[in-house]
Amino acid sequence: MKMLQTPLKDLIITSLVSVAAFYGSWSLLTEILRTILPFGIILALILFCSGYFLRVPAPNPDVVEAIVGKDPHLVTTNDDNYVMKTVAHRGAGLDAPENSLAAFNLCNDKGCDAIEFDITLTKDDVPVVFHDDTLKRMTDLNLKISEHKWADLSGVDISVKHLFKDRFAKTNIPTLEQTVTQLLASGQRMFIDIKDHNKKFVKIIHSLFERHPALYSRAVVTSFYPIIIYLIRKGDPKIVCSLAWRPHAFAYESYNFPLGKGPRRSTNWWKHCTLKFCDILHEWALHRITYYILGLSIILLHKDVVSGRAVLDWRKRGVRVMAWTVNTPVEKQYLARVLKITYLTDTLTGEGTTHSPPL
């Protein structure tokens, strides 16, 4: 009799658990069907409609091709169409003082007609071509650009720390207007990189394109900040734009493989956690929602995260992949010959060898 007690007890417990599981599952299913599912469908419809109506349509592919040329992977050996193979990052800053008119001239002399340069604002809201927040890295002065007027910065020599300073003595910071005027006159194409999330840049870019209509077929506006690109394209959908991306861009100052993340942007724990959340959300949304709403034509990816799959996935979305910043011959050859994409580089040394057919 005692031997039957344990199986009987187990049977009773199993029966009760099965009934509870059945009614629990049924209750959960009916709750999903009555409330969660309708609410989810409604929320999905709201998000879909919001994305559809907020979206800025991408520019005509022919307009994009007029700027960046034919996609390298479509080019044959006998093709005489324009192909943008190399973009001089900051005007090839290893060959001449970065972001300078002298550097842009040197690029033109070397046959590189695609220039990437950075813009920031002075204290009196003059857009100038400069990358850093301060002058410290490029000069002997530790002045913050945003805290000084253009008149105080216009005479600063940015060649003093460059390897070839003897060739480029007394090289100054140019304004955005000076840069665009020179590049258009020399027939060079350009990537205008907005280094700040200051919304004043939206009006500056719109005004720039109004004064220089040739930019619509010669320039790409790019930034790390999706909201800036959205506002620019919302105000003028004809402007071709790209978005720059790398892992941990909001929370960390740098990233490279295999070292990984650089220093934190904020030492405050809650700010750091907020920025990390922004990175996670941005990475998740970029190839699902962001590119579609912004109407992106190009995505600028950090060279250490570029892969064949990434290039193919973006190509399926109608977005051209370009890699930054690529300086070694091996990396250049891999991107140009294997992945067949355009890259940004700090030096034009050896470009002819990189793009010549392998023996």
Give the model confidence (pLDDT) of 46-105 as tens digits: 777 877 788 999 999 999 999 999 999 998 777 778 999 999 999 999 999 999 999 999
Q: What confidence score (pLDDT) does residue 8 get?
A: 67
pLDDT for 11: 66
CATH class of 59-355: alpha beta
CA dihedral for 268, 274, 278, 279, sign (positive or negative): positive
So what's the pLDDT on residue 40?
Answer: 62
Q: What is the pLDDT of residue 175?
A: 98
Asked if 332 and 326 touch (Cβ cutoff 8 Å), the reply is yes
Q: What is the pLDDT of residue 1?
A: 45
pLDDT score recorded for residue 39: 62
pTM of the predicted model as reported, rounded to 2 decimal places: 0.88
Q: Are 89 and 343 in contact (CB under 8 A)?
A: no
Model pLDDT, residue 36: 60
Say what the pLDDT of residue 76 is: 78
Both tokens of 31, joined, read 């709750």
Average pLDDT of each block of 10 consecutive residues along the chain (359 residues)? 58 73 73 64 72 89 96 83 95 97 97 96 97 95 95 96 94 98 98 95 98 98 97 98 96 89 93 95 94 97 96 96 96 95 96 73
Query: Which residue in the block uniquely carries the two structure tokens 């790398």?
Result: 246
Structure tokens at 215: 């930019």
- Token code pair at residue 296: 């992106």
CA-based nearest residue to 51, from 279, 288, 223: 288
pLDDT of residue 13: 75
Cα–Cα distance, 330 to 253 (Å, whole number): 26
